[in-house]
Chain A
Amino acid sequence: MSAEMSKHKFNILIVGVGGQGVLLASEIISEVAMQAGLDVKKAEIHGMSQRGGVVTSHVRIADRVYSPTIALGTVDVLMAFEKAEGLRAINWMKKEGVAIVSHSTLVPAIVTSSKQYEYPYDAVDQMKAKTSRVIDVAADKIAGELGNPRLVNTILLGVLSNYLPFPEDLWLEVIRKQVKERFVEINLKAFARGREIKLDAVTA
């Protein structure tokens, strides 16, 4: 764990597309932080954004949190459930921050139906060109192997858990509590798969 992460002060930005489970993931992180005795705030926008638009959730953890939103350029961990959204949010990161990005690719109709826009299929490479600590995860593929494409969020939570100072048991307990009963087992498996993935194993 790096020095700047040991102060119990974390800014975590989660980005994705409506329907990818951004809000559930941020709720789990926040609950874990509160159970660990820290102050936490989690901010996001409901309503319009859930209809296939960009969904962004800010999670702030510290002894005392004031602002509900993160200041631009001060994100410690960026979690992106969709790769273009990861690239879109990269300027929120600190230079030494960690980005955890899924290979998931969701090309919206506004791109496919016109020549005006391009989708950045090389979004992960572009992120790596901008910052050194990018963990790219084939979460869409792993989720497929586990039998449910909606597990991308929990797989990434598993990766994230390596970078926060909370015990594994606490994560598992909160996941059991927050996830619908019939999906608990598969989510615990997804979390375990994510937890095996660390920066060193990827970039070495």
Chain B
Amino acid sequence: MAKELLSGNEAVARGAEEAGVRLAVGYPGTPSTEILETLARKHRSIYSQWSPNEKVAFEVGIGASIGGARALVTMKHVGLNVAADPLMTFAYTGVNGGFVFVSADDPEMHSSQNEQDNRIFAKFAQVPFFEPSDSQEAKDMLIAAYELSEQYDTPVMLRMTTRISHTMGVVELGEPVKLQERKFVKDPEKYVMIPSNARVRHVVLAQRLRELHKFSEETEWNRIESNGSKVGIITGGVAYEYAKEVAPQFDYFKIGMGFPLPLEKLRRFVLEHEVAIVVEELEPYYEDQLKAAGMMVEGKKYFGNLGELSPSRVAQGLKDAGVIGEVHAPEIDAEELFPRPPVLCPGCPHRGAFMALRKLGVAVTGDIGCYTLGVLKPLNALDTCICMGASIGNAIGMEKVQGSDKGTVAVIGDSTFFHSGITGLLDAVYNQSNVTVIILDNRATAMTGGQEHPGTGHTLMGDPAVETDIETLVKALGVKNFVRMDTYEYDGALDVIKQQMETPGPSVILTTRPCVLMPKRIMEEPYVVDLQLCNACGACFRVSCPAIMASEETERGRHKAVIDQSQCTGCTICSQVCPEEAIVLKSQFKGTPEEVGS
């Protein structure tokens, strides 16, 4: 059979094709995004779409399942919070066509606001889950999850983590399965959760869990690897790979199906070993259940429950547990250097808005997207970031208690506004809040790589779509004060924000510049710094543009500036804030190349 190098996310997409999935749906979120992107690019026989948020996506998936198709729903871990409402009740009704949802967790918060462990969520919802350890398992477990879903009439979670989703590994491909076609069958007692039906379905759910527990005891996904060791390691997910890397000599209980846990098989494993150690990332999910069942195991006291595990952390934990000797120590010392946080791209239209807000010194409630980077030095322009859509509600509350003397502004991106900002704005209108909401409309879900959304005019699969017009929408909600703002005009942006903040009642400012990367990279004529005029004041450095670098030339011990011609998009913002008028269009500069330091 053919082999391919696939990331965990690409492997899930491949698995969807092999499992005969007919509908796939989600909302972009790192580290889950590439599953649907790969489907739309490589597996076009499956209908795939972005929904405005994870709750809608989950509900679309439920509809497809009840309609008889195998359905796939993808999201990042915090997306499951948004989709929790349909999940909790869909666990009661069960499925028609197989239903699998992917929760891609982000231990270490590489690109997230928290690192919640969604294994606990599956247990809370009482739905079984699989947890792959590599790309091959991501594909194979997805297929197994569909069989389980239909056999036991239950939604199933596939729990990925960043290291599984974004690690490429060798995957052996399989053939698509042949499925018998299912159709929708009217069954209101199963699918209409009025209290009298739901009470019955809760009993069904409890019975289903007993049967799933039996399955979990017997399935090969929960397997023992014997090496004749007195030490038994209980592990799953990526933690299995770290442990096998540093201590292959021990016996292993590899958990592939994490709920319900195979407690009897685990009990025998624990009793057969002198020492049993649980190696798991984030929360003591296995450990708590094993201890509650009376098993003598230890885990978190050696490995901790914060952040990602790594081979080094697992080795150190096993040493602390007294089962391995010395741990390989790095031979070369680390060097403390300056930080290099991500920044807004050269020409990013958000920059002008944040420079204006920084200047005004108002309270700024933020949201989730590229523009969250506005919090970082030297922009320093954001005061809150909680979750998708939170900026507007946060601003309303702050404004009602007059927490900021200088007023409150909410900033929210276009995709985030569609995701869960609309209801916040409705609240601002309804309760006559004095907030100013800036919708940073860059025409893309930019942070995750420029995905389509209801305002872009295209679907995930590339078909033309109705462009939802934000102005019409906002006015329909009852917003009276609406203006547009060009963030490439620094002084103009300042005036617009000031004016809207003085207007009573809620006001909305819609920015007009698209993302410089999407859908087409914008590159206008670049600017240069005239080093004869530059006096190293640093005003342009505070613009925080990656194209503006330190020149080797200095004045008063401070570096002058130089603009990287390959990066400058010609947005003009730096030239507007330079007090010496030293930043000019390349074609208008009459000096020699040496005089611009390039």
Contact = CB atoms under 8 A, between A and B. Distances in A.
A90 interface: yes
Given A53-B340, A71-B311, A90 B110 contact: no
Contacts of B193: none
Contact of B315 (A48, A71, A84, A126): A71
A71 B243 CA distance: 12
Contacts of B41: none
B450 to A, nearest CB: 11
Nearest to A105: B549
A111 B338 contact: yes
B187 interface: no
A118 B338 contact: yes
A166 interface: no
Nearest to A150: B566
17 contacts: A43-B168, A44-B166, A45-B111, A46-B31, A46-B111, A47-B447, A51-B343, A52-B340, A65-B169, A68-B167, A71-B311, A72-B312, A88-B337, A109-B545, A112-B550, A114-B377, A120-B337
B158 to A, nearest CB: 18
A39 B169 CA distance: 8
A152 to B, nearest CB: 12
Nearest to B169: A41
B482 interface: no
A40 B169 contact: yes
Given A41-B134, A43-B166, A51 B339 contact: no
A163 interface: no
Interface string A68-80: 1111111000000
Contact of B167 (A41, A51, A92): A41
A71 B549 contact: no
Interface string B3-42: 1010000000000000000000000001100100000000
A71 B245 contact: yes
Nearest to B545: A109
A109 B343 contact: yes
A90 B242 contact: no
B550 A68 contact: no
Contact of B331 (A51, A73, A114): A73
A200 B566 CA distance: 34
Given A40-B5, A90-B335, A46 B166 contact: yes
Given A17-B340, A73-B331, A91-B333, A48 B312 contact: no
A108 B376 CA distance: 12
B342 A46 contact: no
Interface stretch (A27-35, A154-162, A187-195): A27-35
Interface in A88-110: 88, 90-95, 106-110
B166 to A, nearest CB: 6
Contacts of B545: 109
B559 interface: yes
Given A47-B111, A90-B335, A109 B541 contact: yes
Interface footprint category on B:
35 or more
Interface in B142-162: 162
A31 B242 CA distance: 23
Nearest to B346: A52
A23 B39 CA distance: 21
B373 interface: yes
B342 A43 contact: no
B110 A88 contact: no
A183 interface: no
Nearest to A97: B332
Interface of B: 3, 5, 30-31, 34, 110-111, 134, 162-163, 166-170, 238, 241-242, 244-246, 248, 310-312, 315, 328-335, 337-345, 370, 373, 376-378, 447-449, 538, 541-546, 548-550, 559, 561, 566
Contact of A40 (B170, B541, B549): B170
Interface string A136-175: 0000000000000100000000000000000000000000
A31 B167 contact: no
B334 A90 contact: yes
A8 interface: no
B448 A67 contact: no
A112 B549 contact: yes
B566 A126 contact: no
A91 B370 CA distance: 31
A34 B5 contact: yes
Contacts of A52: 340, 342-343, 345, 546
By Cβ-Cβ distance, the 10 closest A-B pairs, closest first, are A73-B330, A47-B111, A53-B342, A51-B342, A47-B30, A117-B338, A113-B541, A67-B245, A71-B311, A91-B334
Contact of B168 (A42, A49, A54, A84): A42
A119 B310 contact: no
A48 B541 contact: no
Given A54-B340, A67-B246, A113-B378, 15 more contacts: A17-B340, A51-B370, A53-B341, A65-B169, A68-B241, A73-B328, A84-B338, A88-B335, A110-B340, A112-B548, A114-B378, A118-B338, A119-B338, A130-B332, A130-B333
B328 A48 contact: no
Nearest to B327: A71
A43 B133 CA distance: 13
Contact of B538 (A74, A84, A112): A112
B5 A106 contact: no
Nearest to B446: A51
